Homo-oligomer: A and B are copies of this chain.
Amino acid sequence: MSEFTHFNEEGRAKMVDVSDKPETVRTALAQSSIRLNKEIYEKITNQTMKKGDVLAVAQVAAVMASKKTWDIIPMCHPIPLTGIDLSFSWEPKEEDYILHIYSTVKTKGNTGVEMEALTAASVCALTVYDMCKAVDKGMIIGPTYLVEKTGGKNGDFKRIGEVE
C-alpha cells in the first residue's frame, strides 16, 4: 500500500506491552500535602466550610480519580483496582498548617499501581484546594511522591529519607 516504511521511531508514544508480566498482588503508597492558613484549618476541622465537609469530599474524589487514572494519564494501563484508602494527618507549620495526605492502592494485576496512588493523592489535595479557595487562594500543594511499592518483577521500592 505504501512504498515508505512505517515509522514510530522518533520518540512517539505507545502503551508498552505488559501481556507477559505476571499477575500478582501489587500495592503502592503515595503521599502529598497541602499547606493552608489557620482560618482554613479551623473551618476544615470544624466542618464549617461553605462547600461542605472538606476531607470527606476529598476522599471520595481521590478514590474516584484513582479508578480512572488510566483515562487521565495517557500511557497508563487500565487495571481493575481492588482497594483504595486515603488517610490524613495535620502538622502545624509556622503560622500555617500542613495537611498530609496518604493514599494506598491495591490491585491484582500485571502492572504496578504507583500512578493510581499518586493520582489519588494529587486529586485529594486539589479537591481540598477547591473546597477552600474562597477563603484563600495562596494554598500550596505538595511535594507529592511515591513512598513505597510492593509486587511485580522489578522488586519493591521504599523511599529512604525525608522529603522536604
Residues of A at the B interface (CB closer than 8 Å) are 1-8, 10-19, 25, 31-32, 47-53, 55-57, 59-61, 63-65, 67-68, 70-91, 98, 100, 102, 106-110, 114-115, 118-119, 122-123, 125-127, 129-131, 133, 137-146, 149, 157, 159, 162-163
Contacts and interface: CB of A to CB of B under 8 A. Distances in A.
The number of times this chain is found in the oligomer is 6
Contacts of A87: 6-8
Contact of A157 (B82, B109, B137): B137
A84 B6 contact: no
B140 A84 contact: no
A12 B144 contact: no
A91 B76 CA distance: 27
